Structure 1
Amino acid sequence: MRPHTFLALAAGISLVQVSPARAMPEDIFSLKQLVATQYGGNAQSYAEVEAKDFREMGCDGRTDLLHALVDEGLDLATLTPNVHYKALKCAIDKKQVEATLLLMTPDIISWWENGCAGNYGCWMPLRDAIQKDDYRTVRAMLENGAHYFWEHKDYLPLTREESLVLAAETARNDAKDETQRAFVDAGLGHILAASQDKAKLQYIKQRWKTAKGGGGGVGAGGMMAGLLGGALSIASGGAVAAGSALAGGYALLDSGSDGDERTPVKGLAPLDLATGRKSLGFAFVPTSGATRGLEVKKVMPDTLSARAGLASGDIVTHVGGVPTTSRAATYVATHAVLDEETFTVRYLREGTAREATFGLPAGPAPQLAAETATETEAPAPTATTATAPASDQTLARLERLADLRDRDLLSEEEFQTLKGRILGTD
């Protein structure tokens, strides 16, 4: 009998045979077989339970296995953030660029930044990438909505663009050439230029120093005091923003183009820098739970949202086809539609899915337009009007009717009836 076995028996300890730890699957076939036999084909469950394996895939740069899991149904957007983060962080640390690019999503960046906000010693993802000066990683971070460079709470009142200026300044001072190239190629050349402007830098630093000093900054009685127990509303595509309520009552702020929604620090307004994103014109807080999106808190007058008929309480889930599931995802979505004259916005109203087209000309209130169209009798057709091309006024009326139908304010039957009246064919 082995000595350690004798000692265990003498102590009255039961010996239990422990199976050796199972190694991570070495190839795609083995991985798919494991998912099929032990997890019922549920790749999501495999990644959650075998979190160490999932992390190792990121560490080792096993994009073949990661792609296989995605092919089997793994949804990175709904993966437990901590599981997702550990794989991404290890891929970044090990300079596994391809795995980093695959694992990086706007949602996980938002989760990482929110977790670091006000947490001294925690590395913000953008700062982590800039220190490594890896062009592809930094650019991917920027294009996926990362922007906070400092985790200290004193910097939180800064806008997205102001924080990026400080990141670019550090990249220049530390001669991070690849990072500077990434800024330019990510469409943030104006941010890099601002980081060389001493007056702008001084103004930005004065804003965070003023916040640090209290009165209008973070802390009890300051600008952020109202965040305890809730998130600060944000104006989509710009204006004041907050990703979520964080420990200690801190939240991340964003800049914007709606001047009346910008938040000054003791009278110091945010630096006027181009956002590179479409201003949608509504204030919101990101939701959590089963329905993820942007809960509309306030619709600004004479904006795209006002003209499209959005209302307080609506939950915006997509902008231009891009899901708006987090603060960073919203940056990505509003950037994608920056140069679009019209684009769709999908939202929920009292649980019912709806879609609006942003960018259409302003018109009467939808319900008023429907009632007016119903009550107005079109003139009797004549031989001339029946065959003549529709006038601009007629086309405008038809477009408005179509818009009412698309918003579910008119049925198809009502639309056809009113259309016939306008064209004189009914």
Structure 2
Amino acid sequence: MGNKRFTIIEGGGVTTPKGFKAGGLHCGLKKTDRHDLGVIVCEVPAAAAAVYTTNLFQAAPLLVTRESLGKGGTLRAVIVNSGNANACTGEQGDADARTMQSNTAEALGVSKDQVAVASTGVIGELLKMDRVTSGIDKLPGRLREDIQGSDDFCQAILTTDLVKKVSCVSVQVDGRQVTIAGAAKGSGMIHPNMATMLGFVTTDVSIGSDLLQQLLREVTNVSFNMITVDGDTSTNDMLVAMASGLAGNEELTRDHPDFAAFADGLRHVCAELAKAIARDGEGATKLIETTVIGAASDEAAQAIAKTIIGSSLVKSAVYGADANWGRIIAAVGRAGQPVNVGTVDIRLGDILVLEQSRPIPFDEEIALEYLKGDTVGINVNLNMGSGKATAWGCDLTYDYVRINAAYRT
């Protein structure tokens, strides 16, 4: 499987790139017995980069991770807990995040400035630090470099997620195999400009932290920033990338002949994780993929695609398998972008329902059957320019309300 730029590795995970181990365990933050504490460890200082939520209320772990990356751009480990966000918890929350960092560093025998911290779960409650510190002490004995280590870590970061989210590819750089892998969590409180999601990328490519940071931002803009579930942006969203350099390639630059292949591989991993988050939206039954072409610019296409995918009316219509294209055209018109109101085409999958902004007769039964599927494509052509973008979301169901009405209980 794959294409000329990268090859998909079935069954790969964050431990597949050279130099990485991972693990997870249940320390008692969750009411169930699912893992709730996990760690990824690199055997060498890894070039590192991160992007964070745009929410003004940023949780304590983000502040600690920003500080660590600002001191040198390398990491040896990232420690993650689920079940508690450690957000809006004041000075005690800050102290707890620093304790997680220092205890992990001591347990692993690395500098605390090379440990990133991430948390996800309920906002406004203090961590049960006795359970966290006890769990951290046990984590070194749970580290594995095989797929089980990756799986244990993936389970440890889940909250309302129903499934683990992982992607892995390989690319050729200087004739050597370079591996890129990612794991993520996210199901609700998901919206562009990061979401209530955590993402972790590992790779064994040799690349500087500055270029990795630039590339991570670029890739995020066309992957994680193009998904929405419910229009809410959380306090804890973070995407961290670590590159061990152990593939042995010449350090990547933008002028390197294989840079584009690596960028494609990273983009694929992040897009697959983003789609998995959208598909696993709280209460969701369908993935919605909206593609906008013919826009005045890529930025305009992005804004329009995200407006469509974020519309509660569009999402509800998809849940009900209702081919109500009026809700789609209304979303196009309120996106705040240039639109020629007389030249818009809309398709549901391959079914043309609007041409040059005029209704086209279509078979309602065929449309109904299409919309009952687990993936629904909404395709919009503005017929104005060359701008294009794709966004991902999910339907809005009764279960979304049920899940969030009782989130703390």
Q: Which has the larger radius of gyration?
A: 1
Greater fraction of residues in strand: 2
Q: Which has the higher contact order (CA 8 A, sep 6+)?
A: 2
TM-score, normalised to structure 1's length?
A: 0.27
TM-score, normalised to structure 2's length?
A: 0.28
